[in-house]
Structure 1
Amino acid sequence: MNLAIYGAGSLGTILGAYITKKGYDIDLITRNESHIAGLKEKGAVIRGTINMVVPVKAITPNEMSKKYDIVFLLTKSTDNVNTVKSLIPYLTPNGVICTMQNGLPELLIAEIVGADRTYGCAIAWGATLIGNGVCELTSEPNSISFSLGSFSQNASREKIDTIKGILESMGTVEVEKNFIGARWSKLLINSAFSGVSTVMGCTFGEAAKNKESRRCIQRIIKECIDVARKAEIRIEPVQGKDITKLFDYNSKIKKFISFHLLPLAIRKHKLLKASMLQDIEKGKKTEVDEINGAVCRFGSKYNVPTPYNDMVVKIMHEIEAGTAKPGFENLDRFTNL
């Protein structure tokens, strides 16, 4: 079985190291030639909450020569049309794409390769690329989990079981019958913690500790829950925790409780630096339109106001354009919402 991780940045490199260590034959593919050189020279060097070095197979897209049974897609979703089309010649006749990207990428990918060849997986852990061939795992190893599924009614159970077995090389895998609900759970977390922490230029833990930014996180979570409810999306639990039950509120007491639960809920991921912030630091465009922007679009469709998500998108676009910078002073922009 030929496997590939296409987009082997921080997440893909660490996942690839775990899968390789378990004995699978998997290619780690990225356009970052310096990173490839580091992986070839020293192997995947993983630091942070774990420490290990794993020899891996690493190539650039130009070096791809074989057809794959499963491609785990971890590139930014902003250019998915071109990316997915470029992968089609490298899929076996029954080959599939399992997207592990942010947002709701499965719908577009399914339009290109077919719904039955499109699987999705929400990742509940974080990592940072800190050097060529060197990545930092920023989540506790016992908190690593995946939510796997498909929007297709004809998804192959055999293929799902195969993907599940591969991903269990690294962490717990939950196969979701309500996959849109699992995706929305990840979208909620990304919108709230990634969105706010990127605007502030800090880690998840720092964003949850500051009371003003925590208020923004709480409001974004509330907007995500309200939009999902109106869209008739049932939000799935994350690592056994019912997000709606914990963080939805319609009274001052419930709002008070949810506010004080937020630092506890994120404690195992407090060191996580959002991929959007990493992009900003590298001068790249972010996926804010696929994350907070997705909530805004659903809110507009179902007539649910999303002022806090709207503001995150607005500030992020200003940061990308160079007219604003990440920082705690951006919290003032949310004061009168």
Structure 2
Amino acid sequence: MRLALMGAGSLGTILGAFISEKKEIDLIDVNKEHVKALNDKGARIVGTIDKTVPVKAIMPEEMEGTYDLVILLVKQTYNESAFDSLKDHIHAKTIIATLQNGFPEPSLLDVFGEERVIGATVSWGATWQGPGVSELTSDPGKLSFDVGRLDGKITEQVEQVKEILECMCPAHIANNLGGTRWAKLLSNAVFSGLSACFGCTFGELLADEKYEKLVHYVMKETIEVGTKWGVTSFEVDGVDLKPYLYFETEEQRLEKAPSYQAFWGPHKLLKASMLQDIEKGRKTEINEINGLVVRIGKELGVATPLNETIVSIVNKIERKELKPTLTNLSLFK
């Protein structure tokens, strides 16, 4: 298969490096300096592992011919331009595998068709350090993907994507991709959203009782929206997260608190991609993540005041009306 990875940012640089060790793949990115560094010096991975891998990187305008599989890791805010770049470089059976945050599959189905779109969630984190360099912030023993289709069918294309992703780490077939997407959305909305608000890592959110309590209540709100939407199992690696995370009383919240440490403690060094975007002066995916929870909540009649506050704070940070600081806790009622 002829392979491409579009969006070689923090995650894409690392995944592209691992795949490049075993297969030929084009890493496509709009950052000219980053592309040059990748070609000249290889993809440098630091953090919880340390390695450098020779890779082939190109700009979108340098694409030639067509690809059989495209791994999509651009921010959803850049989907339109990414799709436009790809249109002349895919054929009728090209597989589009989205590893994006949020719930990207519906918009891709409209463009590429149901048969070609495969979804996968990423259960590890990374921070872009500079041209050619990305930091893996998760425990190397805790890396995984969940891959599948929204209709639950296990097709040849699903198996092909699984094989490619396993060049890096275990990939599990998701019979319940909708539930798996919601499980990933829980992490993105709660930890990434709050990390962007406060300018901190996941670990810092769990290290202070005030912020940890807010984490719990944003999680509760987001699970309630997903449940009303129809999710019966918020699955990661075949494990339903809801019994470990959801609570109704304060006593139950305190009983469930150790589960949050167990699930997200291995990713304590992670700085959310939305916070990285803020630091670079870029638009975040807040409207595609927490904003999605808010929109679905309104449609279903589920109140989402905490997610609404997160969206409001991050939008104000993007407009330079606020800074990402721990003092933004006072804005949550």
Shorter-chain TM-score tier: over 0.9
* Equivalent position of 2:5 in the other structure: 5
Counterpart pick for 1:237 among 226, 229, 235: 235
The structure 2 residue matched to 1:253, chosen from 243, 251, 254, is: 251
Counterpart for residue 125 of structure 2: 126
Cα distance in structure 1, aligned partners of 2:254 and 2:275: 29
How many residues were matched structurally? 333
**1:19 correspondence with 2:5:** no
Q: Which of 203, 207, 210 is matched with 2:208 structurally?
A: 210
**Shift of residue 240 of structure 1?**
5.1
Q: Which residue of 2 aligns with 1:180?
A: 178
SS of structure 1 residue aligned to 2:34: helix
Q: Contact between 1:147 and 1:176, CA under 8 Å: does it hold in 2?
A: yes
List runs of 5+ in structure 2 lacking aligned partners: none
CA distance in 2: counterparts of 1:62 and 1:285, whole angstroms: 23
Query: What is aligned with 1:219?
Result: 217
Alpha-carbon deviation of 1:83? 2.0
Identity of paired residues, percent? 43
SS of 1:319's equivalent in the other structure is: helix
Mean Cα deviation higher: 315-324 or 85-94: 85-94
Q: 1:275 aligns with which of 273, 276, 283?
A: 273
2:313 corresponds to which letter in structure 1? Answer: I
Q: Deviations over 1:8-67 (max 9, x none)?
A: 01100100111111x211000000011011111110111110111100011010110121
Contact 2:176 2:235 in 1 (8 A): no
CA distance in 2, matches of 1:312, 1:208: 17
Please give the secondary structure, in 1, of the residue aligned with 2:120.
Answer: strand
Q: Distance in 2 between matches of 1:63 and 1:131?
A: 22
Give 1:159's match in structure 2, choosing from 153, 157, 160: 157
TM-score (norm 1): 0.96
Tell me what 2:42 maps to: 43
Give the Cα separation in 1 of the matches to 2:328 and 2:265.
24
2:201–2:272 contact (8 Å) kept in structure 1: yes
Post-superposition Cα deviations, 1:261-286, rounded to whole Å, max 9, x if no partner, equal 32332111000000000000000010
Contact map agreement 1:106 1:120 (CA 8 A) in 2: yes
Amino acid at match of 2:52: V
- Alignment partner, residue 315 of structure 2: 317
Residue aligning to 1:79? 78
Write the distance in 1 (CA, Å) between the matches of 2:238 and 2:97: 23
Q: Could you list the per-position Cα deviations for residues 194-217 of structure 1 after superposition, in whole angstroms to 9, with x for gaps in the alignment? A: 011111101000111121111111
Mapped partners of 2:5, 2:203: distance in 1: 29
How much does 1:156 deviate? 6.5
Deviation at 1:125?
0.6
SS at match of 2:270: coil
Letter in 1 for 2:59: T
Q: Which amino acid aligns with 1:233?
A: V
Secondary structure of residue in 1 paired with 2:68: strand
Q: Is the Cα contact below 8 Å between 2:60 and 2:85 reproduced in 1?
A: no
For residues 42-101 of structure 1, the C-alpha deviation after alignment (integer angstroms, 9 at most, x for no partner) is: 101111101111000110101101210000000010132332243122113310111111
Amino acid in the other structure paired with 2:177? F
Question: Structure 1 stretches of 5 or more lacking a match?
Answer: none
CA RMSD of aligned residues (A): 1.3
Residue 94 of structure 1 aligns with which residue? 93
Distance 2:225 2:105 in 1: 20
The TM-score with structure 2 as length reference comes to 0.97
For the residues of structure 2 that align with 1:116 and 1:61, how far apart are their CA atoms? 25
What is the Cα deviation at residue 328 of structure 1?
0.6
Alpha-carbon shift at residue 142 of structure 1 (Å): 0.9
Q: Is the 8 A contact 1:7 1:73 kept in 2?
A: yes
Deviations 1:273-314 (A, max 9, x none): 000000000000100001111111111111011111110000
Task: For 2:313 and 2:229, locate their aligned partners in 1 and report how far apart those are by CA, in whole Å.
Answer: 26
1:137 maps to: 136
Contact 1:115 1:152 in 2 (8 A): no
Instruction: Check conservation: 1:18, 1:170, Cα contact below 8 A.
Output: yes
Q: Does the aligned pair in 2 maintain the 1:81–1:109 contact within 8 Å?
A: no
Q: Distance in 2 between matches of 1:173 and 1:227?
A: 27
* Structure 1 counterpart of 2:20, one-letter code: T
Equivalent residue, structure 1, for 2:148: 149
Q: Aligned residue for 1:284?
A: 282
Tell me the equivalent position of 1:198. Answer: 196
Q: Please tell me whether the aligned partners of residues 292 and 313 of structure 1 are also in contact (alpha carbons under 8 angstroms).
A: yes
Per the alignment, residue 327 of structure 1 pairs with 325
Corresponding residue of 1:170: 168
CA distance in 2: counterparts of 1:115 and 1:162, whole angstroms: 16
Shift of 1:169: 1.0
Indicate the larger mover: 39-48 or 155-164.
155-164
Structure-2 separation of matches of 1:110 and 1:41: 37
What pairs up with 1:26-37 in 2 under 5 angstroms? 26-37=25-36
- Counterpart CA distance in 2 for 1:300 and 1:40 is 47
Whether the aligned pair in 1 keeps the contact of 2:146 and 2:237 (CA below 8 Å) is no
- Displacement, 1:253? 2.3
How much has 1:152 moved relative to structure 2?
4.4
